[in-house]
Structures are given as C-alpha cells and as structure tokens.
Amino acid sequence: MTAAVEFHAVSRHFGTVKAVDGVDLTIAEGSFFAMLGPSGSGKTTCLRLISGFEKPTGGQIRIFGEDVSNTPPHLRNVNTVFQDYALFPHMNVRDNVAYGLMVKGMGRAERYRKAEEMLALVKLDSYGDRKPAQLSGGQRQRVALARALVNEPRVLLLDEPLGALDLKLREAMQDELKALQKRLGLTFVFVTHDQHEALSMADSLAVFNEGRIAQIGTPQDIYDRPATRFVADFVGSSNVLPPEMTRALGGPAEWASLRPEATRLAASGPISGQVTALRYLGSGTRVVLDANGTEIAALVPAGQTVPAEGDMTAIAFEPGALHLMKGA
Amino acid sequence: MKTMKLMASTALSALIGAAPLMAQVTEIGAPEGQVNIVAWPGYIERGETMKEFDWVTKFEAASGCKVNVKTANTSDEMVALMNEGGFDLVTASGDASLRLVAGDRVQPINIDLIPSWSTVDDRLKDAPWHTVDGVHYGVPYMWGPNVLMYNTEVFKEPPTSWNVVFEEQTLPDGKSNKGRVQAYDGPIHVADAAQYLMFHKPELGIKSPYELNEDQYKAALDLLRQQRELTSRYWHDAFIQMDDFKNEGVVASGSWPFQVNLLKSEGLPIASVIPQEGATGWADTTMMHVDAANPNCAYLWMEHTLSSNLQSDLAVWFGANPSVPAACTDGRGMATAETCTANGLDDFDKIRFWTTPVSNCSQGEGACVPYYRWVSDYIGVIGGR
Amino acid sequence: MTSRATLPSRGLADQLTGLFWRRPGLLLLLLITPPLLWLGVVYLGSLAALLLQSFYSIDEFSGVVKEEFTLKTYGELFRAQNLDIILRTVLMAATVTLACAVLAFPIAYFAARYARGPWKAAFYLGVMLPLWSSYLVKVYAWKLILAKEGIVTWAAEGTGTGFLIDGLLSIPGLEGASLSTSPFGTFLVFVYIWLPYMILPMQAALERVPNSMLEASADLGATQSQTFWTVILPLALPGVIAGSIFTFSLTLGDYIIPQIVGDSARFIGLAVYQLQGTAGNTPLAAAFAVVPILIMLVYLTLAKRAGAFDAL
C-alpha cells in the first residue's frame, strides 16, 4: 500500500515558537487517520502543512510520493473541510458546491449536475437554492463536505468538523463520515481534540503534544498501551500510577497505567483506600478511591454491589493489566 | 442721446411703477448703535489688514455706530444678500444697483440729510445707475476702470489693444498667448467683448456694450468662445488671480487696480493699461435697504463716506477713484493728484460703467438681450458650448 | 437572618430600571425620539423646503423669487449648458469613484489582512492625517503643486518627462495650460481629497471577510485572481459601495475644488453655490440640488439590483 501522506522530519517554527517540531508521519492510503491533541499541540498546523496553507521551515512533505514543497494550495489535489465550514455567504448552496469545478473551468450544466449528485450523497438534494445562512449547523457541515468531495480529492482534510455540533448530531455525523469514507475509499485526515471521537472513528491516530507526536498507532494501541504519561492522561479514563506505587505493586520504579475495566473490587488487594466519589455510567459504576493521595478508579459492572462513599475498600487486578510507560 | 436716456429711464420707471414709492427719511434721529453693510472685499478697512488703512475706527468712536461688514465677491451675490435682508447698506455696482431699485430692495435717499453731497463729482451726482426719475437711490462711493493687467517682462511696451486676451497671437516674447491669458468669471464680461467689437467691427452698430440686440449679442458670444480657447481658467477671486499671475504663467488679463497694486507692492513685474478700445468700469453706490433697521447710523455712515479720509485712503488702497474729487488734493488722506491720475480719474469718459442689461433698451422695447440670458449663456461659453 | 426574595429599591435609578424592564419600548422611545426629531425636522424639513423652492421661479431682472408653482425651473435644467453641467459632474464623479476604488483597494487590503500593531496604527494615521488639515489648505496646496510653475512641471522638466504632461494636456477634453487648469487636475485633486472616504469602509468590509474564505477558495483550486473576483470582491462589495456612495456624492456636491483647480467649467455644486449665493436664483439652485439626489437614488437602486447588499 502506498503512503498517502508522508512527513519526514517536518518542522514549522514561528520565530521561537515550535508549532511543529521534527514530525515523522506516514498516513496509509484509504485510511481514516486522526490527529489528536490539546489546542496548541501542532495538530492543526500539521493539517495546514498538508493543505499548503503553511510552509514547513524544515523537513519534507510528500503526498502520494510527490514532494509538495513548491506546490501552492490550489494545485494540490487535497481538499479541506474547515472548522467554521467557510461556506461563501454570497453564493447559494449549489454554487458553493460547484465552486471548485467552476474555477477549474467546467461548464455550468455539468458542474451543476455534479454538485447535485454530491448534494444527494450528503442528503441535501433539495437545498441547492438556499443560502448558507438559511441552513442549520449540521446542514452547513454537509455542504462543506460536498464542496470538498466534488473535486474528487485524493486526500480529504477535516479540521475539527464536528466541533460546532451538538452531541446527538455529532454522533450521527461520526457514523455518517465513517460510512462515507468506507464507501469512497478515500484517505481522510481528521483533526480533533476529542479523544472519544478520535478513538471511535480512526483506523490509526497520532497524539500530539507540544509540536511533536507523543504516540502513533491504532486506537487499541493508544488506549491500552499509552506510550507516555501524557498520552494516558489525555486519552483519559485510565489510572496513572506514579513510580513509587508501581514499585509497591511489584513492578519497576516507573510510571504505569491501569485501566479501570481491568480491575475489580475486593475485600483485600494491593491497592486500598477510602471511596471518595461514585459515578453511575449505566453499564456500570465508576468508583474512585483515595489510595495514599493517588486517585484510582475501578469499574464495577452493573448488578454487582457498589460501596458507599466513605467506605474503605480494596482493588485487585491481573498482573498483565499494569502497563509501564515513559514519564514525559 | 438724450432721448435714449429718457427712454431708458421711462422703461425703468414703468418697471418699478407698480411699487409704492417709499417715503424718505426726513431727519436723522439718535444713532441705533450699529450699521450692517454688504461691501466688496477691501472696501471697508479698519486697519486690520494694514495699520495705516483705517476709515472705520474714528467713525465708530464719533457716531457710536458699530460697523459690521459682510463681503461679497460678485454683484449677483450682493443682490442675493440684499434680497435676503438683514442689512442696512450695500456698495452696489452699476450692474446691481438698478436691479435693487427694480426689486424694491433699496429706498430713496434724502440728500438734504447728507451735508457733503455738494462735494460729489458732478459727473456722478445724477448718474443713471442710482438716479431714477430724478430720485436718488444712493450716494456715490468709488469708481474705477477694469484695466488690462500685464506682465512687464513679456510686454516691454504696454499692450495697446485688448486683442491680447481675445485673439490668438504671438506675444512679444515669441510664445503664443494660448493658455496664458485670463478673463473675468462673471456674465458682465460679455460687455468687455461687446466693447472690443464696438471698436473693431463698427458694422455691427453697437452703441453701448450693455445694450445688445440678438445679432450683436451673438457676435459677442462668438468672440468669447474664441477667448475660451485661449483661457485656461477664468478668475472671480482676486487672490486666485494674483496666484495665477505668480505661479500659473498668466501674463495678461482684465483685472482691477486692486490686484495690480498689490502685485506691484510685492515687487512683481506687473503693470496695467487702458488700451485703445477703452475699458468697462465700475461705479459703486452706497444704497440703503428698504427695511434698514438702522437708518440713522446708515445716514451717518453715508455722510462719513464723503467727508472723511475714506475717499482719499480708499483710492490709494483699492486703486480706485474717489467720488469726491477734492479728496485727491486736499490732503485729508494719502491720495495725491498723481495717485488719482494713475488710477484713471481723467479717463472717466473712456469708461463704460457696468449697468444691468435689460430687454427694453434704447434700441426699442424688447430689442436687447436681458441679463438673465447673459448669465446662462456665459455659463455655457465657459463650459465650452 | 432571613433573606428576602427581593431586594429593596435604592431610589430613582432602581425604579427607572424597573420601569424600563417592564416596558422595554419606553426606553427605546426615549432614546430615539430626539435624533428622530432632529432628522425629521432639520433634515427632512430642509429637504422639503428645497424641493418646494425648486417649483418656484425667479423674476429674471430683479432676481426676486416668484412663489408660484411652476415646472419652468426644471425645464431650465434641460438647457444645453445646464445639461452639460450635469453630464460633466456625473462623468467626473464616476471616474473619481472608479479611480478611488482602484487606488483604495490595495491599501485597504494591506491594512485589513497584513497590517498589525504599529503598522495598523501607521495606516490609520496615514489615512486620517489628511482629513485633519483644512480642506481648503489642501486644495490650495494642490493648486500650487500642479501649477505651470509648480513642482510637478518642474520635476517633469528636470527628468525629461515633460512630454508626458504635454501629451496628457493635449488629450481632447483634458486640455489646459497646466495640470492645474486642466480637468485632469480637478480629477486628481478630487481623487486625493476623497480617497480616505473610500479606504476606510473598504478596509472595514475586508476585515470582516474571514481568512478561511480565502483559504477555502485556494483549497478548492482557485487562483488568486479567481479568488479576488469571485470571493473577495463580492464579500467586500458592501464596503466598496459604501465608499463609492461617499466619493460619488461628495464629488457630485463639491463646489470648492472646481473653483480653484480646473478650467472654470461649472459642476453641479459650483452651479448651486453660484446660483443661490451669487445669482440669487434659489429655484434653479434647488432644482440643480435635486439632481444629485435623483442620481444617488438611481445609483443605489442599480447597486441593490446588482446584489451589492446581498452580503450585508
């Protein structure tokens, strides 16, 4: 399989600010790739490096093997769905979608036909005559998608496309996007700060921190085996154990992660403490206890007995569940 | 000639006959404390422009009447201001004065209340631009010629004819006059063209440049169209004209002694002449508004204009001639006999004073082209039509 | 201590606030009545008086206005020399507006998209500075700059480019002895004087065009010129129109510049000034003054039809 996008030691420095710093990255063709990280971690800059709105200050970017260092955005066969959608307010939906075809010189009848096809694909068949201001957020998002896809790009870039939508709509759109990507077989590169979104949609993802990639892998890799304490913290819900505790549990003096699902409550166990919080999740209850100053969470499946707040309890787990990682 | 004048004044009296004759002021009462005057720029000086030119301060002290001046740049503006009202006096030129009389904007003057009336130049006492049917509508103020101002570096000898501003020609410095001459930006300039034709095309039969029949008028407009080709800009603001002589390469234009004197005083190579065709000129009259709120101060001011240093010093300041000939010689101000000669006191007969053209003229009822057509046609000529 | 559900009123301010909360329309009424009165009485009133005047006529000899309804004055507008004035003015206003738009766009674009911090301040200062000095001083300065013996001619002669000015001044319609006495000089001064009024609204409009629009356009394959014509210009159009309303109407009404720079040919503003001030022909002046109002109405209608306000 060819690589759709390759980064070789790519940097983008703004003066002393290292927005992207020595990133190596390979995105496989036809994959759904997510870039995850907090704001300012460099993920959006990486996306803009692919689209051409930023130029690298070091390293090389290849798209389908072609060095794009000197290719301006409008000549890259890559399209973007912008975070604010960036629909042209003075054009109706049809003209927005047909825009890319128009600037390439396609005749009116043909580009309108293609635009209508694309609108049908995103289920907005009858909306061609409306202005963007007359659409809801979700509808605008689909128009932006159609406007990008009509150009038949080899890579589709999505910059936090679901960020502005409410929860229910976001979940529906996640499924739709995923289905669309499967159907078209296109490479999607997706920027998000929402770890659930990244984990649930991507085939593989990169976690960014301070301009560098902290970890790259499949969602399972990232979730089960976070490479660093940062990844474990950011991906969340996993227990992060300091070196002393790891050693007390019989491991080396290193940071480790312990997934709450891999634990169970026991009368006695290696970790014990007082219950400080309970959170009912439907499928189970998350029990948080204070173990000598470290917060540890355990997941109690539905139907089992849940201790009360203030009770003393202990946690047991399989030895293999403890995952060692780097401190940084 | 006499019958013509009679006809003209009859026509005028017919025009104003419908209006009731205003009662004259019979005696001067207590001064009201102020007098409001519409005047040409530079006409009423209180020593603020130059210290030695002041003919207001003493009057204010002696009479207790504060003098308020509103300046106007053209006769049309003066008529407009008087129509608006709120003024007591106006220094009206001959192309405004009869319009003011006809429009009932001014009142007859009781000359018995003006002791110095007897000193007024006899040639002005009954001048037709302020006397209608023997009734005086004002007191003569100042008069002067519209001279030909020229640059002495270009003209080593004074030009002898107005043709330098009317006909394309090579000037003594070897260059064409095209773009180097100016003309006055007021419809009354049609009269200058007519006067030029009077001399050069006697077959047109022009008797007065202010009384033109259709053919004569058309010939004058054609001459002005020819002048448009030579003129890059028309002047109506004295100071812009002076600037154009300094920076715009203008070397000849009809002008007033006022500009000539000022440019000379700055040391520029400027002089003026009244060429062989003669000149038009202005004779201004102090006239009193029909609804003047301050008649007593107004009468005191009119007497003051004749009796004080005003006539003499204004003659020097403005390059004009006093209406009181004695002011040239009796040492009441700065003027001397030489000043008055230089300003054209002896050229009175060469000068055809501005009067308002009317359709009923000496050539017959409705025979002449009236002033309003001068206004609109001159706008057309300047616009290149 | 028992706390109450409502707090005690502290006086008039609380009562008034309460009143306005219960009756929001009252506050609005109080706020807009004075400006509405001003607009209604002073502005619309004077406009109505003007309109009324234009239906009067003038006694040609005495200059006294006859207060009888007539269309004669409007008929006079159609005299050849008056039509000349109107056409000359409209042509001048249109070319001045076009030139201002072309000159202002790059400046406004730079200010809106690139200038930051001190550059932005320098931009505002540079654009506004000419507005702080007296209008008359600027026009007189230009008269001197463009004069036959002024700096432009001097520089042209010194660099051997005098033939350019001579060539310009021999173009029919632009003839003059120097730039200062040519209609082209009038045009230059108009463009200089009104340019800030074009730059500022344009800059405001361009600033409201999000950067992502331009990126989206490039992303979709548009060249920069395609982006300009299909995205930037349509989105900035309300600003361009606002600016052009300024430059167009200001040129239509100005009477100082053509008096000082140019070939003395009349413009509407000058005609109005001279007709009402100098000639006392208020009715014709009023009729002339109605012309720009009509022209602006036509202009705005056309602009609306062309979709200039769609992006508002």
> Which of A237, A249, A243 minimizes the C-alpha distance to A314?
A249
Residue C299 backbone dihedrals phi, psi, to 5 degrees: -60, -45
Gap between the terminal Cα atoms of chain C: 56
Question: Which range has the top average pLDDT, A231-245, B348-362, C201-215?
Answer: C201-215
Separation between Cα atoms, residue A258 and residue A240, nearest integer Å: 7
How many degrees, rounded to 5, is the angle at CA B179 between CA B176 and CA B182? 115
What are C302's two structure tokens?
A: 């056309």
Separation between Cα atoms, residue B379 and residue B381, nearest integer Å: 6
The number of domains in chain A is 2
Do residue A65 and residue A83 come from a single domain?
yes
Do residue A224 and residue A244 come from a single domain?
no
> Out of C213, C218, C219, whose CB is closest to A88?
C213
Q: Is the Cβ pair C61, B185 closer than 8 Å?
A: no
CATH 1.10.3720.10 in chain C is located at 73-305
Q: Do B and C touch (≥3 CB pairs < 8 Å)?
A: yes
pLDDT one-digit tens code per residue, C264-274? 888 998 888 77
Sort strands B351-353 and B279-288 into parallel, antiparallel or unpaired.
parallel
* CATH code at position B16: 3.40.190.10
Q: Is the Cβ pair A90, C234 closer than 8 Å?
A: yes
Which pLDDT score, from 0 to 100, does residue C81 have?
86
Separation between Cα atoms, residue A219 and residue A306, nearest integer Å: 30
The number of domains in chain B is 2
Which pLDDT score, from 0 to 100, does residue B7 have?
40
Which pLDDT score, from 0 to 100, does residue B265 have?
85
Q: Is the Cβ pair A74, C220 closer than 8 Å?
A: yes
Among chain C residues, the shortest Cα distance to A90 is held by: C311
Residue B263 lies in a domain: no
Do residue B244 and residue B120 come from a single domain?
no
> Out of B178, B248, B376, whose CB is closest to C180?
B248
Do residue B15 and residue B129 come from a single domain?
yes
* CATH code at position B246: 3.40.190
Q: Is the Cβ pair C278, B77 closer than 8 Å?
A: yes
Separation between Cα atoms, residue C56 and residue B177, nearest integer Å: 44
Lowest mean pLDDT among A141-155, C39-53, C148-162, C266-280: C266-280
C170 pLDDT tier (thresholds 50, 70, 90): confident
Give the residue from B232, B236, B358, B375 with the most C CB atoms within 10 Å of its CB, the best one to mutate: B232
Among chain B residues, the shortest Cα distance to C76 is held by: B376
What average pLDDT score do residues C42-69 get?
Answer: 80
Do residue A204 and residue A311 come from a single domain?
no
Do residue A312 and residue A185 come from a single domain?
no
What average pLDDT score do residues C14-42 get?
Answer: 87
Q: Is the Cβ pair C63, B80 closer than 8 Å?
A: yes
- Residue B29 distance to chain C (closest CA, Å): 31
As a whole number of Å, the CA-based R_g of chain B is 21
C62 pLDDT tier (thresholds 50, 70, 90): low
Cβ atoms of residues B121 and B268 within 8 Å = no
DSSP code of residue A264: E
Residue C74 backbone dihedrals phi, psi, to 5 degrees: -65, -35
- Please report the number of interchain residue pairs, chain A to chain C, with beta-carbon separation below 8 angstroms: 68
DSSP code of residue A154: S
Cβ atoms of residues C84 and B380 within 8 Å = yes
Do residue A75 and residue A181 come from a single domain?
yes
What are B354's two structure tokens?
A: 């501005």
Separation between Cα atoms, residue A219 and residue A32, nearest integer Å: 11
Order across the sheet with A66-67: list the strands: A17-28, A3-14, A58-63, A66-67
What are A166's two structure tokens?
A: 């409410």
Lowest mean pLDDT among B6-15, B243-252, C246-255, C292-301: B6-15
Q: Tell me the chain C residues in contact with residue A105 when contact means C-beta distances shorter than 8 Å.
A: none
Separation between Cα atoms, residue C217 and residue C229, nearest integer Å: 11
B250: left (phi over 0), alpha (psi -120 to 50) or beta: beta
SS3 of residue A151 by DSSP: coil
Provide CB contacts within 8 A for A106, sequence distance 6+: A98, A114
Q: Kindly report the length of chain B.
A: 385
Residue B13 lies in a domain: yes
Q: Tell me the chain B residues in contact with residue C271 when contact means C-beta distances shorter than 8 Å.
A: 379
Cβ atoms of residues C181 and B232 within 8 Å = yes
Q: Does A72 touch chain C (CB under 8 A)?
A: yes
Q: Is the Cβ pair B99, C62 closer than 8 Å?
A: yes
Which pLDDT score, from 0 to 100, does residue B16 have?
41
Cβ atoms of residues A83 and A161 within 8 Å = yes
Chain A, 89 to 128: residues with Cβ < 8 Å from chain C are 89-90, 99-100, 102-104
Q: Does A147 touch chain C (CB under 8 A)?
A: yes
- Residue C118 distance to chain A (closest CA, Å): 19
Which chains form contacts with chain A, at 3 or more CB pairs under 8 Å?
C
* CATH code at position A179: 3.40.50.300
- Residue C173 distance to chain B (closest CA, Å): 10
C217 pLDDT tier (thresholds 50, 70, 90): very high
Which pLDDT score, from 0 to 100, does residue B160 have?
94
> Out of A80, A83, A88, whose CB is closest to C219?
A80
Q: Is the Cβ pair A103, C216 closer than 8 Å?
A: no
CA of C258: how far to CAs of B50, B384, C190, in Å?
Answer: 31, 15, 9
Boundaries of domain holding A158: 3-231
Do residue B375 and residue B244 come from a single domain?
yes
Residue C2 confidence (pLDDT) above 80? no
Q: Tell me the chain A residues in contact with residue C213 when contact means C-beta distances shorter than 8 Å.
A: 86, 88
Do residue B221 and residue B367 come from a single domain?
yes
Number of helical (H) and strand (E) elements in chain B, helices listed first: 14, 14
> Out of C216, C221, C310, whose CB is closest to A82?
C216
Which pLDDT score, from 0 to 100, does residue B3 have?
37
Q: Does A151 touch chain C (CB under 8 A)?
A: yes
3-state secondary structure chain C: CCCCCCCCCCCHHHHHHHHHHHCHHHHHHHHHHHHHHHHHHHHHHHHHHHHHHHCCEECCCCCCEECCCCCHHHHHHCCHHHHHHHHHHHHHHHHHHHHHHHHHHHHHHHHHHCCCCHHHHHHHHHHHHHHHCCHHHHHHHHHHHHCCCCHHHHHHHHCCCHHHHHHHHCCCCCCCCCHHHCHHHHHHHHHHHHHHHHHHHHHHHHHCCCHHHHHHHHHCCCCHHHHHHHHHHHHHHHHHHHHHHHHHHHHHHCCCHHHHCCCCCCCHHHHHHHHHHHCCCHHHHHHHHHHHHHHHHHHHHHHHHCCCCCCC
Separation between Cα atoms, residue C215 and residue C217, nearest integer Å: 5
Q: Does C157 touch chain A (CB under 8 A)?
A: no
Provide CB contacts within 8 A for A301, sequence distance 6+: A283, A284
Q: Does C274 touch chain B (CB under 8 A)?
A: yes
How many degrees, rounded to 5, is the angle at CA A140 between CA A136 and CA A145? 150
Do residue A96 and residue A140 come from a single domain?
yes
Do residue B249 and residue B314 come from a single domain?
no
**Domain final residue pick, A199, A231, A263:** A231
- Residue C230 distance to chain A (closest CA, Å): 9
Which pLDDT score, from 0 to 100, does residue B8 have?
41
Do residue A85 and residue A153 come from a single domain?
yes
Cβ atoms of residues C269 and C224 within 8 Å = no
Separation between Cα atoms, residue A169 and residue C233, nearest integer Å: 35
Beta-strand runs (E) in A112-221: 155-159, 187-192, 204-209, 212-217
Among chain B residues, the shortest Cα distance to C85 is held by: B383
Residue A327 confidence (pLDDT) above 80? no
Which pLDDT score, from 0 to 100, does residue B323 have?
93
What are B209's two structure tokens?
A: 């440049």
Residue A193 backbone dihedrals phi, psi, to 5 degrees: -110, 5
Cβ atoms of residues B313 and B53 within 8 Å = yes
Boundaries of domain holding B337: 2-143+283-346
Which pLDDT score, from 0 to 100, does residue C304 have?
83
What are B345's two structure tokens?
A: 């006191």
How many degrees, rounded to 5, is the angle at CA B80 between CA B75 and CA B86? 120
Provide CB contacts within 8 A for A62, sequence distance 6+: A3, A5, A6, A8, A68
Do residue B24 and residue B121 come from a single domain?
yes
Do residue A139 and residue A89 come from a single domain?
yes
Separation between Cα atoms, residue C248 and residue A236, nearest integer Å: 62
Sort strands B321-322 and B139-145 into parallel, antiparallel or unpaired.
antiparallel
> Out of C220, C234, C310, whose CB is closest to A100?
C220
Do residue B194 and residue B172 come from a single domain?
yes
Q: Tell me the chain C residues in contact with residue A83 when contact means C-beta distances shorter than 8 Å.
A: 212
Do residue A217 and residue A272 come from a single domain?
no
Separation between Cα atoms, residue A35 and residue A161, nearest integer Å: 13
Which pLDDT score, from 0 to 100, does residue B19 have?
40
> For residue B222, what is the enclosing H or E element?
helix B214-230
Which pLDDT score, from 0 to 100, does residue A170 have?
85
- Residue A158 distance to chain C (closest CA, Å): 12
Look up the ipTM and state it.
Answer: 0.83
C54: left (phi over 0), alpha (psi -120 to 50) or beta: alpha
Q: Is the Cβ pair C221, A103 closer than 8 Å?
A: yes
What average pLDDT score do residues C289-310 get?
Answer: 84
What average pLDDT score do residues A149-166 get?
Answer: 89
Do residue B42 and residue B118 come from a single domain?
yes
| pLDDT digit string (tens) for chain B, length 385 residues | 333 333 444 444 444 433 444 567 788 888 999 999 999 988 999 988 888 899 999 999 999 999 999 988 778 888 888 988 899 999 999 888 888 988 889 999 999 999 999 999 998 999 888 998 889 999 999 998 899 999 999 999 999 999 999 999 999 999 999 989 999 988 889 999 999 999 999 999 999 999 999 999 999 999 999 999 999 899 988 888 999 999 999 999 999 888 898 898 899 999 999 899 999 998 999 999 999 999 999 999 999 999 889 999 999 888 889 999 999 988 888 888 888 887 888 888 888 988 888 788 888 888 888 887 888 889 899 988 8
Do residue A215 and residue A253 come from a single domain?
no
> Out of A74, A79, A84, whose CB is closest to C210?
A84
Do residue B96 and residue B113 come from a single domain?
yes
Separation between Cα atoms, residue B173 and residue B212, nearest integer Å: 36
As a whole number of Å, the CA-based R_g of chain A is 23
DSSP code of residue A262: G
CA of C262: how far to CAs of A221, B58, C169, in Å?
Answer: 81, 44, 12
Residue A195 confidence (pLDDT) above 70? yes
Do residue B42 and residue B114 come from a single domain?
yes
Q: Does C172 touch chain B (CB under 8 A)?
A: no
* CATH code at position A293: 2.40.50.140
Owner of token pair 């053919």: B215
Do residue A225 and residue A109 come from a single domain?
yes
Do residue A210 and residue A292 come from a single domain?
no
> Which of C86, C81, C91 minimizes the C-alpha distance to C288?
C86
Which pLDDT score, from 0 to 100, does residue B23 have?
60
Residue C145 confidence (pLDDT) above 60? yes
Residue B275 lies in a domain: no
Superfamily of domain C73-305: MetI-like (1.10.3720.10)
Q: Tell me the chain C residues in contact with residue A114 when contact means C-beta distances shorter than 8 Å.
A: none
Lowest mean pLDDT among A237-251, B205-219, C51-65, C184-198: C51-65
- Residue C109 distance to chain A (closest CA, Å): 19
> What mean pLDDT is reported for chain A?
89
Q: Is the Cβ pair B370, C182 closer than 8 Å?
A: no
Order across the sheet with A255-258: list the strands: A239-241, A255-258, A323-325
Which pLDDT score, from 0 to 100, does residue B299 have?
95
Q: Tell me the chain C residues in contact with residue A90 when contact means C-beta distances shorter than 8 Å.
A: 234-235, 307, 310-311
Residue C20 confidence (pLDDT) above 80? yes
DSSP code of residue B348: G
Q: Is the Cβ pair B247, C176 closer than 8 Å?
A: no
Cβ atoms of residues B295 and B24 within 8 Å = no
> Out of A79, A82, A99, whose CB is closest to C212?
A82
Sort strands C57-58 and A294-301 into parallel, antiparallel or unpaired.
unpaired
Owner of token pair 């003569």: B140
Which chains form contacts with chain B, at 3 or more CB pairs under 8 Å?
C
Lowest mean pLDDT among A190-199, B81-90, B367-376, C212-221: B367-376
Percentage of the residues of chain C whose pLDDT score is greater than 70? 94
